[in-house]
Copies of this chain bind each other. A is one copy, B any other.
Amino acid sequence: MNIYEIAELAGVSIATVSRVINDSPLVSEKTKLRVRRVMEENDYTPNVFARGLGLNSMKTIGLVCPDVADNYMARAVACLERDLREYGYNCILYCSGYAWEDRRIAVRTILQKRIDALVVIGSSYADDDPDAERVEYIREAAKQVPVFLINGYIRGENIFCALCSDYEAAYSAASELLRSGRRKILFLSDSHSYSANQKRSGYEAALREAGVPVREDLVIYTRNRIDSVRDLLLEMPQLDADAVFATEDGLAAGVLKYAKRRGAAVPKDLAIIGYNNSELAVCCDPELSSVDSRVDRLCKIVIDSLKLRLNGKPVNDRVYVKGCLIRRMTTDF
Tell me whether A285 and B282 are in contact (CB under 8 A).
no
A74 part of interface (Cβ distance < 8 Å): yes
The reply to whether B283 and A226 form a contact with Cβ atoms under 8 Å apart is yes
Contact A92 to B94, CB < 8 A, known contacts A69-B74, A74-B69, A283-B283: no
| A69, A250, A282 — most chain B CB neighbours (10 Å) | A69
Q: Which residue of B lies closest to A285 (CB)?
A: B285
* A19 close to B (CB within 8 Å): no
Bound-state CA distance A253–B284 (Å) is 9
Give the dominant DSSP class at A's interface. helix
Interface size of A in residues (CB-CB distance below 8 Å) = 37
Interface residues of A in 243-289 (CB under 8 A from B): 250, 253, 256-257, 260, 279-280, 282-285
Which of A90, A225, A256, A279 has most B Cβ within 10 Å? A279
Q: With A94-B90, A282-B226, A284-B285 known to touch, is A75 a contact of B69 (CB < 8 Å)?
A: yes
Q: Which of B81, B256, B257 contacts A68 (CB 8 A)?
A: B81
Q: In the complex, which residue of chain B has the Cβ closest to the Cβ of A230?
A: B282
B95 touches A93 (CB 8 A): no
Task: Give A113's nearest chain B residue, CB to CB.
Answer: B90
Task: List A residues 278-327 near B (Cβ within 8 Å).
Answer: 279-280, 282-285
A273 to chain B, nearest CB (A): 16
Find chain B residues with CB under 8 A from A93 CB. Answer: 63, 77, 81, 91-93
CB pair B95–A282 under 8 Å, yes or no, is no
Q: Which chain A residues (37-96) contact chain B, with CB distance < 8 Å?
A: 60, 63, 67-69, 71, 74-75, 77-79, 81-82, 85, 90-95
The residue in A67, A75, A82 that gathers the most chain B C-beta atoms within 10 A of its C-beta is: A82
Closest CB of chain B to A33's CB: distance in Å?
37
Instruction: Check A231 for interface membership: any CB of B closer than 8 A.
Output: no
A9 to B260, CA, bound (A): 71
With both beta carbons as reference points, the residue of chain B lying nearest to A256 in the complex is identified as B285
Q: Closest CB of chain B to A111's CB: distance in Å? A: 12
Interface pair A71/B71, CB less than 8 Å apart: yes
A128 at the interface (CB under 8 A from B): no
**In the assembled complex, A140 has its CB within 8 A of some CB on chain B:** no
Q: 6 tightest A-B contacts by CB?
A: A69-B78, A74-B74, A285-B285, A283-B283, A93-B93, A68-B78
Q: List 30 A-B contacts (CB under 8 A).
A: A60-B92, A67-B78, A68-B68, A68-B74, A68-B77, A68-B78, A69-B75, A69-B79, A71-B71, A71-B74, A74-B74, A81-B93, A81-B94, A81-B95, A90-B92, A90-B94, A90-B110, A90-B113, A91-B92, A91-B93, A91-B94, A92-B93, A93-B93, A226-B282, A226-B283, A256-B285, A257-B285, A260-B285, A280-B280, A285-B285
